[in-house]
């Protein structure tokens, strides 16, 4: 407060000069949520670039033996590694910060997983309001067109698509791939695709966002030819092919009238799934779609019982448990990514069982290649978010993504009032 009183008494040009030189200190949080997450918001080189580009920014890193970049890699780039971040103005993390470690009156950036009223983070949001924390959620950082600016979705799609091939290789016995998490980087993972042995397999892919684009990227890396819907349905092929499905390719009006995508998004109850026309002709399904509550299930347990249900492998990147994909019974782990679903018993079995569908449903896929995923995320942060933080945010992008501040929920998120009142 004293500095501002002094500035008021000074010459205008001097005031502007001093304000420009005021240092904002930002801190890179140690990931404390369990299980441990190795990803970071900024790589060591990106931290160095921040200091070079923005002279009024200082960045420090909280010491950690868990992250994918060591403390030494940060110090080698001239970045201070510290234990205490209490003197930082802004704090960046990836996953939720445990309630006991929250610092009052600070500005935080992380994935809070609260906007859908997730029960497990109700107390976390209530605590942030109580501590007068300004909380900006990466998930709702959007441009003026409503498009998300940040996310790990691309790498979820890339690794999930890779795991679909890994799973099919093990299920069919045709080939074996090195697990992504055992690869040094994405290039080694891409090189593994040279080991794929396929004949005339058919793949279907859903998802049009970052995840979907990541899946398409890996399909092209694997040199699988993309075909059109009519071709996929009506033609035979002497090579492996894939079809990228749009939402309205597998949803139709219950009454048979003309379908409309916008109507589907607002009135999903008027629609039913037509997805089974693709399960008859496909060997592998890679799911990267967003599922909204109330939308039709892609296929049910009864659908999977059909004699012409042909899917042998399902890579469910979306991983909605007991949701639109009947075979997704639970999330799997990076170390044990595959389990079997038995359509008759509707139970989990060994995926190698002849009549089992092999299911890959890892929920934290970007963690398999944490360095590459972090570099991709940090690049977007540097390009799209840091400039808003240190200069002007004319479109109020940060404000729109601020869940709470000054002891209150911001107006856009007032709907969460009842959610936190249950604590």
* Model confidence pLDDT, tens digit, residues 317-346: 999 888 899 999 999 999 999 999 999 999
pTM, full prediction: 0.87
pLDDT of residue 178: 98
What pLDDT shows up at residue 297? 95
Per-residue pLDDT tens digits for 114-161: 998 999 999 999 999 999 999 999 999 999 999 999 999 999 999 999
Mode of pairing for the β-strands spanning 408-409 and 241-245: unpaired
Residue 86 pLDDT exceeds 70: yes
Instruction: Report how far apart, in Å, the C-alpha atoms of 59 and of each of 23, 79, 80, 97, 224 are.
Output: 10, 7, 8, 19, 44
Average confidence (pLDDT) over 350-378: 96
CATH 3.40.50.720 fits 2-150+370-421, yes or no: yes
Please, which pLDDT band fits residue 104 given cuts at 50, 70 and 90?
A: very high
Residue 401, Cβ neighbours under 10 Å: how many? 23
Query: Would you call 173 exposed, middle or buried from its count of C-beta atoms within 10 A (0-12, 13-18, 19+)?
Result: exposed
pLDDT band at 191 (very low <50, low <70, confident <90, very high): very high
Q: Residue 342: name the closest of 357, 352, 331 by CA.
A: 357
Which of residues 4 and 101 earns the better pLDDT score? 101
Task: Please give the Cα distance from 125 to 74 (Å, whole number).
Answer: 31
CATH topology of domain 153-368: Rossmann fold (3.40.50)
Residue 9 has pLDDT above 80, yes or no: no
Query: What is the C-alpha separation between 364 and 331, in angstroms, rounded?
Result: 9
**Average pLDDT score, the chain:** 93
pLDDT at 35: 82
For the chain, the structural domain boundaries read 2-150+370-421, 153-368
**Tens-digit pLDDT profile for residues 11-48:** 544 444 444 456 899 999 999 998 889 999 999 999 99
pLDDT of residue 34: 85
CA distance 154 to 157: 5
Distance CA 27, CA 109 (A): 10
Q: Do domains 2-150+370-421 and 153-368 have the same CATH topology?
A: yes
Structure tokens at 98: 């445990």
Do 82 and 108 meet the contact criterion of CB atoms below 8 Å apart? no
The predicted pLDDT at position 403 comes to 97
CA angle centred on 417, ends 413 and 423, rounded to 5°: 130
């Amino acid at each position: 407060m004293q500095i501002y009183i002094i500035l008021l008494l000074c010459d205008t040009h001097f005031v502007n000069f001093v304000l420009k030189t005021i240092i904002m200190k930002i801190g890179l949080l140690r990931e404390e949520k369990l299980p441990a997450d190795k990803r970071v918001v900024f790589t060591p080189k990106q931290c160095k670039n921040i200091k070079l580009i923005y002279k009024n920014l200082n960045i420090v890193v909280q010491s950690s033996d868990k992250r994918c970049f060591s403390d030494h890699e940060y110090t080698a780039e001239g970045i201070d590694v510290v234990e205490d971040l209490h003197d930082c103005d802004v704090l960046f993390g990836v996953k939720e910060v445990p309630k006991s470690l929250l610092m009052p009156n600070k500005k935080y950036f992380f994935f809070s997983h609260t906007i859908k009223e997730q029960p497990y983070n109700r107390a976390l949001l209530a605590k942030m309001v109580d501590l007068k924390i300004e909380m900006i959620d990466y998930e709702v950082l959007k441009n003026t067109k409503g498009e998300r600016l940040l996310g790990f979705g691309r790498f979820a799609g890339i690794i999930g698509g890779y795991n679909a091939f890994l799973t099919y290789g093990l299920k069919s016995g045709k080939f074996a791939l090195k697990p992504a998490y055992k690869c040094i980087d994405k290039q080694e993972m891409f090189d593994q695709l040279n080991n794929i042995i396929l004949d005339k397999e058919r793949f279907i892919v859903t998802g049009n966002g970052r995840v979907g684009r990541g899946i398409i990227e890996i399909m092209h890396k694997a040199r699988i030819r993309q075909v059109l819907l009519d071709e996929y349905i009506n033609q035979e092929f002497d090579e492996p092919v894939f079809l990228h499905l749009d939402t309205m390719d597998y949803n139709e009006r219950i009454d048979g009238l003309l379908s409309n995508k916008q109507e589907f998004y607002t009135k999903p109850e008027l629609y039913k799934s037509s997805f089974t026309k693709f399960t008859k002709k496909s060997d592998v399904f890679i799911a990267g779609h967003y599922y909204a509550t109330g939308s039709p299930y892609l296929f049910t347990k009864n659908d999977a019982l059909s004699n012409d249900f042909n899917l042998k492998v399902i890579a469910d990147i979306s991983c909605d448990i007991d949701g639109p994909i009947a075979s997704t019974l639970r999330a799997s782990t990076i170390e044990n990514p595959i389990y079997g679903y038995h359509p008759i018993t509707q139970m989990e079995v060994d995926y190698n069982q002849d009549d089992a569908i092999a299911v890959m449903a890892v929920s934290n896929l970007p963690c398999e290649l944490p360095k590459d995923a972090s570099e991709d995320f940090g690049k977007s942060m540097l390009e799209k978010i840091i400039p808003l933080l240190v200069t002007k945010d004319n479109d109020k992008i940060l404000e729109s993504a601020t869940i709470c501040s000054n002891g209150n929920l911001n107006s856009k998120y007032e709907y969460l009032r009842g959610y936190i009142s249950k604590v």
